[in-house]
Structure 1
Amino acid sequence: MGNSGISTGVYLTHLLRAYGVEVVFGIPGVHTVELYRGLAGSGIRHVTPRHEQGAGFMADGYARASRKPGVCFIISGPGMTNILTAMGQAHADSVPMLVISTVNAHGRMGSGQGWLHEMPDQSATVAGVAAFSRTIHRPEDLAPAVAQAFALFASARPRPVHLELPINVMLAEAGHLPVPAPLRLSRPAPDPAMVAEAASLLNNARKTVILAGGGAAHATLAPLAEALDAPVVMTTNARGLLPPGHPLAVSLSPSLPATRALIAAADVVLALGTEMGSTDYDMYEDGGFPPPARLIRVDLDPLQIARGLPATLGIVADAALTVAALTAALPPRPPGDGAARAAAAQAGRAGLSVDMQGDLRILDLVRDTLPAARLVGDSTQLTYAGNLGFAAATAGSWFNSATGFGTLGYGLPAAIGAKLADARPVVAISGDGGLQFVLGELASAAEAQVPVILLLHDNNGYGEIKSYMISKNIPPLGVDILTPDLAAIAAACGWQVARVTDLDALPGLLRQGAAAGGPTLLIFGDDLRAQAAARA
C-alpha cells in the first residue's frame, strides 16, 4: 500500500522502520534535512554526535552490542570524508553499518562547477571502505538497495554499505511506492559432506586446537570444545566465548610464545570465523606464528579462506551453524590432556611485562566489579595489554579499535553506541591522546543522557608511541602534547568526574558510575598503573 504525498527522503524512514531500525546517528545539514522530515513520530531515535567520525564509531559500537546494523545520516562532501575512518574500522572488523548520505543533484554531481559539498566522485571515494556504494538515481531504486544492504548484513560477511541520494531524488515524490516486507534470509549452512570430512579429521586427532575469531562470537562453542578435548584460543573479537575459568579457555594472544607452542603441537587446528590477520596472530611482526600441520578453516568469506596460511579443508558457511553441525557429528570422548594444554598456554600471561600484568589487573578488577559490563577500548595501553591477555566475562563484552585498522578516538563514541543498544553497563577505555580526537563526544553523551563510564589514562601525551620511539632510538618528538584540563571539560559537559589514585577505590567508583543517570569520567595516571603492577 502506498503512502501519498511523501518524498523519497520520508519514504526512506518508512523503509528503515520496516527493517527494525531503532537508532540513527547523524548531524543534520542543508543537504539532508529532508531525511529528517520523517523521523519525528517514526519511533526511530536520533542521536547527534559532534563529528561524522563520531557518528560512525557510535554506529559501530551499537552494531557490535545489538547485533543490528548501525545506521548513519551523513551530509555530502565533508560529511562523507569525515566518516571514512570509522567505516574503515568497521570494514576491517566486519561490522554491519548502513551509511546513508546525500549527493549533489543530477546535473550538478561531479560537474566541477563548485556546488556546495561537491566532490568529483563521492561514491568512488567511499567504495574502498564499503561492501558496496550505490547512487540511487530513482525513487524506485531505493527499496531494492536497502533490501540488498540488509541481505548482506544478515547472510554474508557484514561490512559497511553506503547509499547516496541525489538531492533531487531525495525530494522526489515517492507516495506511490509500497513499503515491502523485509526479506527473511537464512545464514549459509555448511555442506554436509564437508562437515563429515572435517568431523573425520577431528575425530582422529588427539591434540586439536580451536582458533576462534569474531565470526564465531555467537557460536555455542563449549560442547564442541569439550567433545574434542580441545583448547580454544580466542582472538580479540572472540574473547569471552568461553568464560574465565573454563578449563579449555585460552585468552592469551596467538602472537605470544606460549599460545604459539600450543598451536604448533596440535595435529589439527580448527579455525572458526577468524581472518588470521597479523594484529591478532603476529602483532610483533616476527613471523613466528607456526603453520598448522592440518588446518580446517570455516568462514563466510571464501576469499578469506584462500588468503594466508593454506587450509587442508575450507568450509564456506556461518561459524555458529558449522559448530552445531560438527558437535552433532562427533562422538564424545573422555577428557584427556586438553585442560592441561590450555593451562600451560594460559600460564604464558606470567611472561608479559610487569606493566602489562598491572594493566591486566586493572581490567580484571573492572570485569569482576561489573560482570555484565561491556569494555570498549580505544588504541591505548590498557587495551593493548587486554588484547594480549584479558579474559572477558562473556562474548561481545570486549571489543576495541586496536586491531586491524587501528584507529584512535574510537573508545568513547563506540561506548556511547554500545550503551544505546541495551541496559548493560559500558566502560570505555581511553588515553588522553585518543580522547582529544573526540572531545566533542563528551557533550554528545551528556546530551543523550547515556550513562557510560569512561576510564581514562592521562599520561600527558602519546605514551605508547613515545615508548616505542625510545625503544628504536628515535628522539621522541611530537608525543609530549599539551593536554588540557580534561576533568574540567568533562564537568562542563555535565559529566560526573573523579580521580582514581588508589586501586582499592576503583570498584566503588565503578559501581557509582554504573548506578548514575548520566556519564562518569574516572581519570587515573601512571601512579595507579604502578600500584596495579606492584600487585600483579
Structure 2
Amino acid sequence: MSTCAEIIIRLLEAYGVEVIFGIPGVHNVELYRGLDVSPIRHVTPRHEQGAGFMADGYARATGKVGVCFTVTGPGLTNILTAMGQAYADSVPMLVISTANPIEQLGAPVGALHELRAQRNLAAEVSAFSQTVLHPGQLPEALARAMAVFSSARPRPVYLEIPVDVLAATVDEMPVRTCPLPERPAPSRASLDGAAELLAQARNPVVVLGGGAVSAAAEARQLIELLDAPTILTVNGRGLLAPEHPLLAGENLGAAPIRQAFHDADVVLAIGTELGETEMYPLPVELTASGKLIRIDIDAEQLTRKPFADVSLLGDAAAALSGLALRLKRRAGGDGVARAAALRKANQAALPESIEPYRNLMEALDAALPGAVYVGDSAQTVYAANQFFRPRQPRSFFNSSTGYGTLGYGLPAAMGAKVGVGTARPVVALMGDGGILFTIGELASAVEAQLPVIVLLWNNDGYGEIRNYMIDKGIAPLGVDLVVPDFITIARGFGCYAERIGSFEQLAAELADAGNRTVPTILEIRQDAAFLTGQQNTCTAEFPEAVLMPAAP
C-alpha cells in the first residue's frame, strides 16, 4: 500500500525531477512522506513567491522543469506572481498544491485556508490547471504537464490535490511514465515558402528570441548561410558569442535597429513576441517594409502583431534545420559590414548616463567569465538589457521582460545556482527597492549553502520610477524610501557583505566569493565616483577579421 503523496514523489523521480522548492504546512505534509529518502533535493524558501522564483531561475539556467510544493489558500496566492512571470516568459514550472477536502470544494464552510475556487486563480497563469480527485488520475495529470514542458510552449502547470486524496492509501500502483511527444516540426509547405523568400533576400535581418535558446547551433548555421545581421532579445542573449561578426545589437527599441528592421527586404524572427518589454526606454511599434517570417511553437503567438507573411509553427531547432537544408550560402554578401554599421550606430545612440552600468558589467564579465546573470527589475538590468553580451545561452535573464515583477532576482539566482552548481558563478543584479520584496530568502540561501553573488545597486528607493515621474512632470511621491543598512542585515542572515568603493575592491571581492558557501552581498551606491572613472570596452567594436565557421 502507498499513499497518493508517495506515488507523486515516485512519479516525479521517474520523470527525472531533481529538485523541489517548497514549504511544508499542515495541508501538504503528506507530500513530504518519503521525500527524505528520495534522491530529489528539497530547498525550503521563506515565502512561496520565493519558491516560484527559484523554480523559474532553475528552469531558465538548466532547461529543466522547476517544481514547487505549496499549501492550500495563501500558499497558492503567494506563488501566483511567480507563476505570472514564468507564464509571460515561457518557463516550465510545475506547481503542486493541496486543496481542502473533497466535500468542501465549492461549498465554503469557513475552513482554514479556504478559497472558493483556487484552481480558477491558478488557471490565469498556467497552461492548464487541474484538481486531482483520485490517485488514479495522477499519472495522466503529470504526463499532460510533462508534455507541455517538452513539446509545447513551456508555461506553468498547476495541479491541486485535496488533502483527503493526498493521504489516501491505494493498492500498489505501477509507476510508469508516459512516452512524451516530440516537439512539432513546421510543415514542408511553410518551410518551402520561407526558404524561397530567404533565398531571394538581398538584405535580410534575423531576430533570435528566447524560443530559440535550445537551438544555438542551428541558429548560427542559418544566419551564417544567410549572411544576415542578427539581433538578440533579452532571453535570446548568448545565442551568438559576443565577438560574432553578425551580431548587430540587442535593443529592439533602438532607432538604428528599428530602421534596419523596417528597411530589410526579409526579417526572420524566431521564438520572439517582438514585444514592448524588448524595447528601451519606451515601446514602439515595429514596422517592416519587406516580408516578415515568424517561427514559433505557439500558434496563438503567430496570429499577433506584427503579422507575418509566412508563419512556421513548430520547434525552433527543427525549423532552422529545415530552412538550412533548403538554402545555400549567400556569396559576396555585405552582412558583416551591415552588422558592424549597426553595432556602431547602436553604440553611438546609447545615452551618456549608461556609462556607469557599462563599466560595472565590464568589470563583472572580466572577473567572472561564463557567469550566469539573473536580474530584477532594476536600473542595472534596464541598462544591461541595452548592451550586455553574455558568452553563452541561458546566462542572462531577468524579470524586466514579460510580467516585470520586483523581488525576482535574488531567489531566481538561488534557483539558478542550484541548477548549475559549482560549474559557474551566479550573480543577482538587484536594486535596493526590489531586494526588500524577497530579502528573507538570504536565510534560505545560507541554509542551502548557495554562494550566489548579489550585486546590490543602492539609489535610496525606486530610482527608475523616480526618474520616470520626474520626466512626466509628476512630483516623485512614494519613491524615496527608508533604506535599511543592507550590510548589517546581510551579515545578520549569515552572509558575507561589503560596500564597494573601487573596481579593484570589486575584483578582489568577486575572486573571493567563489571560496564561500554563503551568499556574497556587494553593495554599490549609485553615486559612487569610481563608476565613471574607467574606460569601458564592453560594447567596443569587434575586429572585422574574425572569421565565421565554415558551412557544414
Instruction: Give me the TM-score of the superposition, normalised by structure 2.
Output: 0.94
Task: Give me the whole-angstrom Cα distance separating, in 2, the residues matched to 1:507 and 1:403.
Answer: 29
Task: Give me the whole-angstrom Cα distance separating, in 1, the residues matched to 2:387 and 2:42.
Answer: 37
* Corresponding position of 1:216: 212
Structure 1: stretches of 5+ with no match in the other structure: none
Deviation at 1:240, TM superposition (A): 1.1
2:70 to 67, 71, 74: 74
Deviation at 1:507, TM superposition (A): 2.2
* Corresponding position of 1:91: 87
Would the aligned equivalents of 2:359 and 2:531 in 1 still touch at CA under 8 Å?
no
Task: Give me the whole-angstrom Cα distance separating, in 2, the residues matched to 1:366 and 1:418.
Answer: 18
Whether 1:187 and 2:183 are equivalent positions in the alignment is: yes
Q: SS of the residue aligned with 1:451?
A: coil
In structure 1, what residue type is equivalent to 2:318? L
Give per-residue Cα distances to partners, 1:132-164, cap 9 Å, x unaligned.
010001110111000000011000000000000
**Which deviates more from structure 2 when the two are superposed, residues 353-362 or residues 119-128?**
353-362
1:274 to 272, 294, 297: 272
Deviation at 1:286, TM superposition (A): 4.0
* Corresponding position of 2:550: none
Q: SS of the residue aligned with 1:437?
A: helix
* Corresponding position of 1:259: 257
* Corresponding position of 1:61: 57
Whether 1:47 and 2:47 are equivalent positions in the alignment is: no
* Corresponding position of 2:541: none
**Which deviates more from structure 2 when the two are superposed, residues 219-228 or residues 412-421?**
219-228
Deviation at 1:396, TM superposition (A): 1.0
In structure 1, what residue type is equivalent to 2:406? L
Would the aligned equivalents of 1:355 and 1:529 in 2 still touch at CA under 8 Å?
no
Would the aligned equivalents of 2:503 and 2:530 in 1 still touch at CA under 8 Å?
no
In structure 2, what residue type is equivalent to 1:293? G
Deviation at 1:282, TM superposition (A): 7.0
Would the aligned equivalents of 1:32 and 1:74 in 2 still touch at CA under 8 Å?
yes
Would the aligned equivalents of 1:215 and 1:319 in 2 still touch at CA under 8 Å?
yes
Deviation at 1:335, TM superposition (A): 4.6
In structure 2, what residue type is equivalent to 1:526? Q
Task: Give me the whole-angstrom Cα distance separating, in 1, the residues matched to 2:384 and 2:289.
Answer: 25
Would the aligned equivalents of 1:18 and 1:182 in 2 still touch at CA under 8 Å?
no
* Corresponding position of 1:501: 501
Deviation at 1:526, TM superposition (A): 1.5
Whether 1:345 and 2:342 are equivalent positions in the alignment is: yes
Task: Give me the whole-angstrom Cα distance separating, in 2, the residues matched to 1:282 and 1:432.
Answer: 22
Deviation at 1:28, TM superposition (A): 0.5
Deviation at 1:193, TM superposition (A): 2.5
* Corresponding position of 1:391: 389
**Which deviates more from structure 2 when the two are superposed, residues 399-408 or residues 491-500?**
491-500
Would the aligned equivalents of 1:251 and 1:390 in 2 still touch at CA under 8 Å?
no
Deviation at 1:533, TM superposition (A): 6.8
Whether 1:7 and 2:19 are equivalent positions in the alignment is: no
Would the aligned equivalents of 1:401 and 1:411 in 2 still touch at CA under 8 Å?
yes
Q: SS of the residue aligned with 1:183?
A: coil
* Corresponding position of 1:449: 449
Instruction: Give me the TM-score of the superposition, normalised by structure 1.
Output: 0.97
Deviation at 1:227, TM superposition (A): 0.8
* Corresponding position of 1:293: 290
Task: Give me the whole-angstrom Cα distance separating, in 1, the residues matched to 2:278 and 2:531.
Answer: 28
Deviation at 1:281, TM superposition (A): 4.4
Deviation at 1:518, TM superposition (A): 2.1
Task: Give me the whole-angstrom Cα distance separating, in 1, the residues matched to 2:390 and 2:171.
Answer: 49
Deviation at 1:250, TM superposition (A): 2.4
**Which deviates more from structure 2 when the two are superposed, residues 35-44 or residues 408-417?**
35-44
Would the aligned equivalents of 1:362 and 1:532 in 2 still touch at CA under 8 Å?
no
In structure 2, what residue type is equivalent to 1:145? A
Would the aligned equivalents of 1:443 and 1:493 in 2 still touch at CA under 8 Å?
yes
Deviation at 1:64, TM superposition (A): 0.6
Whether 1:24 and 2:38 are equivalent positions in the alignment is: no
2:97 to 90, 95, 101: 101
Would the aligned equivalents of 2:253 and 2:284 in 1 still touch at CA under 8 Å?
no
Whether 1:468 and 2:464 are equivalent positions in the alignment is: no
Give per-residue Cα distances to partners, 1:387-426, cap 9 Å, x unaligned.
1221121111100000111000000000000000023110
Q: SS of the residue aligned with 2:383?
A: helix
Q: SS of the residue aligned with 2:290?
A: coil
Deviation at 1:336, TM superposition (A): 2.0
Would the aligned equivalents of 2:119 and 2:129 in 1 still touch at CA under 8 Å?
yes
Whether 1:143 and 2:139 are equivalent positions in the alignment is: yes
* Corresponding position of 1:518: 518
**Which deviates more from structure 2 when the two are superposed, residues 419-428 or residues 27-36?**
419-428
Change in CA separation of 1:442 and 1:335 when aligned onto 2, cut-off 3 Å: farther
* Corresponding position of 1:241: 239
Q: SS of the residue aligned with 2:393?
A: coil
Give per-residue Cα distances to partners, 1:239-262, cap 9 Å, x unaligned.
111011110012320111011122
Task: Give me the whole-angstrom Cα distance separating, in 2, the residues matched to 1:307 and 1:368.
Answer: 40
In structure 2, what residue type is equivalent to 1:97? M
Deviation at 1:534, TM superposition (A): 6.3
Would the aligned equivalents of 1:433 and 1:462 in 2 still touch at CA under 8 Å?
yes
Q: SS of the residue aligned with 2:35?
A: coil
Deviation at 1:431, TM superposition (A): 0.5
In structure 2, what residue type is equivalent to 1:316? L
Task: Give me the whole-angstrom Cα distance separating, in 1, the residues matched to 2:290 and 2:61.
Answer: 36
Change in CA separation of 1:530 and 1:465 when aligned onto 2, cut-off 3 Å: farther
Whether 1:414 and 2:437 are equivalent positions in the alignment is: no
Q: Following superposition of structure 1 onto structure 2, how do residues 419-430 of structure 1 map, counting pairs within 5 Å?
A: 419-422=417-420, 423=422, 424-430=424-430
* Corresponding position of 1:312: 309
Deviation at 1:209, TM superposition (A): 0.5
Q: SS of the residue aligned with 1:142?
A: helix
Deviation at 1:107, TM superposition (A): 1.1
Whether 1:303 and 2:300 are equivalent positions in the alignment is: yes
Give per-residue Cα distances to partners, 1:72-108, cap 9 Å, x unaligned.
0000000000000000000000000000000000111
Deviation at 1:483, TM superposition (A): 1.0
Whether 1:196 and 2:192 are equivalent positions in the alignment is: yes
Task: Give me the whole-angstrom Cα distance separating, in 2, the residues matched to 1:320 and 1:518.
Answer: 38
Task: Give me the whole-angstrom Cα distance separating, in 2, the residues matched to 1:76 and 1:459.
Answer: 38
Between Structure 1 and Structure 2, how many residues are aligned? 531
Give per-residue Cα distances to partners, 1:9-67, cap 9 Å, x unaligned.
11100000000011000110000000001211111111000000000000000001111
Among all aligned residue pairs of Structure 1 and Structure 2, give the percentage whose two residues are the same amino acid.
49
1:167 to 163, 186, 189: 163
* Corresponding position of 1:122: 118
Would the aligned equivalents of 1:500 and 1:522 in 2 still touch at CA under 8 Å?
yes
